Amino acid sequence: MKNREINRSLPVAAIVVPCFNEEAVLDDTAAELIKLLDAMIARGRAAPESRIVFVDDGSGDATWERVLIHAKESRLVAGISLRRNVGHQNALFAGLMEVREFCDAAISLDADLQDDPGLIPAMLEAFCAGKDVVYAVRRSRMGDGWAKKASAFLFYRLMERMGADLPRDCGDFRLLSRKALEELGCFREPDPFLRGLIPLLGLPSETLFFDRRPRKAGKSKYSLPKMVRFAANGIITLTDWPIVLIFRLGAGLFGVSLAVFFWLLSAGWAGNGWKIAAVSIWGAAGLILMAAGTIGLYIFRIWQRAFGHPHYQIREKYFFPENPEEKYKV
Ligand code: UDP
Ligand code: MG
C-alpha cells in the first residue's frame, strides 16, 4: 500500500479534525462533514474509501464517546484517541501521520466549523490538477473578536518582517498530498509549528480564499496564554530573530552608555549621577534576563530534541471497521 502511486483522478481523501473538549460542536461537525463527503463520493470527486478522522486530543469531556457513536453509525467516520492533551499542533500532526498510509490527500480543519468545509471540493480539485499543498486563506474572520483579529494580524505581519516564509492569514485549514505528508514526517521538531514548516517543503502549492465563520458551538480552546505560547513557538521554530534583536539591543545600549559616559565626563557628575547609575543597573538587569530567557528557549528546544520526545501517544484507534486490513481495526 505504501508505494502505490498517488491517485489524482479519484483520490482517497482524509479529512483530519483535531478535537479538544469539543462535545458541544462535534455532532454538527460530523453531520456537516459526512454530508459533504458523501456528496463528493456520489459525484465521483472522492474515492469511497475516503474518511473523516477525528483526533481526540486527550479531551476531558465526552468528545471521544461522540466520535465512537459517529464511527459506528457512519462508515465514513474514523477516530484516533490520544492518551493525553498534547496541543493542537501535535494532535493535528498525529492525525496527518496516521492517515498518510491510506490517503492520497489529507485535508485538515478545526472541529468548530470556523473553517468552511464548503471549500474542500475546490481544494481537492486543485490537488487533482497537480498541487501538493493547497492553502485555505481567511478573507475575513467574522466569528473572531477584535483581540483575536488584531493579534493574528500583527503576528503574520511580524513574522513576515522577521523573514519567516509563512503564508499570510493561513491557519491549519489546508490540503496536503501523501507526498507532502511523507516529507512532513521527516521534520522532527518536538512541537511542530505546522503552518511554518509546510512552505519549507517547497512543493507546488495553490492558495484559495474563504470567509472564516463564527464557531458553531462551544468556546475557543485558545486562551490568551495559549495564543502567546503559540506565537512564541512560531518565532522559535522559524527564526533567530529574537537573538538578533537581543544582540542589537545590547549593541545599542552599549553605544548609548558610551555616549552618556563621555557626556558625563565633560559635564561632571554633580548631583544626579547616582540616579543614572541606578537606572542603568535596572536596565542592564532586565536586558540580561531577557537575553538569558531567549537563549534558554532555544536550549530548551535542543534539550527536547536530544531526548527525542514522541509528539503523541495513541490510546485507541477506530479505523475503518469494514476495512479488510486488520491493522486498521480497533
Ligand atoms: N485543539 C486541540 N488541542 C488543544 C487545543 C485545541 O486539538 O489543546 C483543537 C480544537 O478542538 C479545534 C482546533 O484545535 O479543533 C482549534 O482550536 P480553537 O477553535 O479553540 O482555536 P481558535 O479557532 O479559537 O483559534
Ligand atoms: Mg476555532
Over residues 176-224, the pLDDT tens digits come to 999 999 999 998 887 889 999 999 999 999 999 998 888 888 888 888 8
Ligand 1 pocket, Cβ-based, cut-off 6 angstroms? 18-20, 22, 57, 85, 87-88, 91, 110-112, 114, 220-222
**Cα–Cα separations (whole angstroms), residue 132 to 127, 193, 233:** 6, 19, 26
CA of 250 to the centre of ligand 1 (A): 38
- Give the whole-angstrom CA distance, residue 110 versus residue 83: 20
Residue 3's pLDDT band, with cuts at 50, 70 and 90, is low
**Cα–Cα separations (whole angstroms), residue 139 to 168, 170, 253, 280:** 10, 9, 42, 47
Note the pTM of the prediction, 2 decimals.
0.83
CA of 274 to the centre of ligand 1 (A): 52
**Ligand closest in space to the Cα of 220:** 1
Region of poorest pLDDT, from 39-53, 251-265, 269-283: 269-283
Task: Report which ligand 1 atom has the smallest distance to the Cα of 57.
Answer: 7
| Residue whose C-alpha is closest to residue 194's, from 184, 209, 183 | 184
Protein residues near ligand 2, an ion, with CB under 5 A? 110, 112, 114
- Give the whole-angstrom CA distance, residue 184 versus residue 161: 25
Residue owning the nearest CA to atom 3 of ligand 1: 88
pLDDT at 329: 45
Which residue of 23, 172, 221, 227 sits with most ligand 1 atoms within 8 Å of its CB, as the best mutation to test the pocket? 221
CA of 112 to the centre of ligand 1 (A): 8
CA of 114 to the centre of ligand 2 (A): 6
Residue 286's pLDDT band, with cuts at 50, 70 and 90, is confident
pLDDT at 55: 98
Express each pLDDT in 23-46 by its tens digit: 999 999 999 999 999 999 999 999
Buried b (16+ CB within 10 A) or exposed e, 286-320: eeeeebeebeeeeeebeeeeeeeeebbeeeebbbb
| Residue whose C-alpha is closest to residue 48's, from 40, 59, 58 | 40
- Give the whole-angstrom CA distance, residue 230 versus residue 63: 23
Which residue of 53, 90, 110 sits with most ligand 1 atoms within 8 Å of its CB, as the best mutation to test the pocket? 110
Residue owning the nearest CA to atom 11 of ligand 1: 19
